[in-house]
């Protein structure tokens, strides 16, 4: 079942989400719903606070090149255990900040540890778009948005656009 995505500014997007200690059926369902919501949007990543659940869960699938097999991942308590000195700049967007894009520079490779939907501890290295997306989604769990990396002028301009968008949506 699809869930509504919160649009910035929203106080829930600024909160630190709580660690998950066991994988219940409700949480497995949440992960499934988030993947459905993400693919439908369409997007390549989504964090639980974006659907109003303040728990440490992210979903992603950055396999979007032609001919590449889909790789839906759901990560509970994802944690970056190591990051490369080498940096990478990507033009980022966010399903909570529709149609706004900006360059963000982050470590090019990250080693991530997480708990999967079966409760197993996993660890893997990610590069390219996967690395950027994972850092963006994990930021959401700490109440941080990609626009927080921009200068105050640009951030305020985007926020004003979102306030206007929400006002228009409320009227529709």
123 is catalytic: no
Options 19-27, 73-81, 89-97, 102-110: segment touching Zn ion (CB under 5 A) = 89-97
Give 62 or 94: the residue with its C-beta nearer to Zn ion: 94
Cα(146)–Cα(108) distance, integer angstroms: 16
> Rounded to 5 degrees, what angle do the CA atoms 155, 171, 5 make?
55
Residue closer to Zn ion by CB (options 77, 96) is: 96
Q: How many residues does the chain have?
A: 172
- Decide if residue 162 touches Zn ion (CB under 5 A): no
Q: Which helix (H) or strand (E) holds 89?
A: strand 87-94
Binder among 57, 73, 94, 150 for Zn ion (CB under 5 A): 94
Nearest approach in angstroms of CB 95 to Zn ion is 6
Q: Which of 155, 106, 145 is CA-nearest to residue 128? A: 106
Among 14-22, 92-100, 102-110, 151-159, which window interacts with Zn ion (CB under 5 A)? 92-100
| DSSP 8-state class, residue 146 | G
Name the residue among 76, 113, 111, 98 with its Cα closest to residue 146.
98
Q: Mask: binding to Zn ion, 48-87, rule CB under 5 A, as x and -? A: ----------------------------------------
Task: Output 44 or 108, the one with its CB closest to Zn ion.
Answer: 44
Q: Are 98 and 7 within 8 A, CB to CB?
A: yes
Catalytic residue among 36, 66, 137, 168: 137
Based on CB atoms, which residue is closest to Zn ion, 23 or 31?
A: 31
Helix (H) or strand (E) holding 45: strand 45-47
The residues of the shown chain that bind Zn ion, judged by CB under 5 A, are 94
Which residues are known catalytic residues? 137
């Amino acid at each position: 079942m699809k869930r509504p995505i919160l649009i910035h500014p929203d106080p829930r997007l600024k909160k630190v989400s709580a660690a998950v200690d066991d994988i219940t059926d409700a949480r497995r369902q949440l992960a499934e719903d988030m993947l459905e919501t993400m693919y439908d949007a369409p997007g390549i990543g989504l964090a639980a606070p974006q659907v109003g659940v303040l728990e440490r869960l992210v979903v992603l699938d950055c396999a979007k090149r032609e001919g590449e097999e889909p790789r839906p991942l759901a990560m509970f308590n994802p944690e970056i255990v190591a990051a490369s000195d080498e940096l990478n700049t990507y033009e980022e967007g966010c399903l909570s900040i529709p149609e706004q894009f900006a360059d963000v520079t982050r470590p090019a490779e990250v080693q991530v540890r997480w708990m999967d939907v079966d409760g197993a501890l996993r660890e893997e290295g990610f590069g390219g778009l996967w690395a950027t997306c994972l850092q963006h989604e994990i930021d959401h769990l700490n109440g941080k948005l990609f626009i927080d990396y921009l200068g105050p002028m640009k951030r305020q301009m985007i926020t004003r656009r979102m306030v206007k968008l929400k006002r228009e949506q409320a009227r529709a």
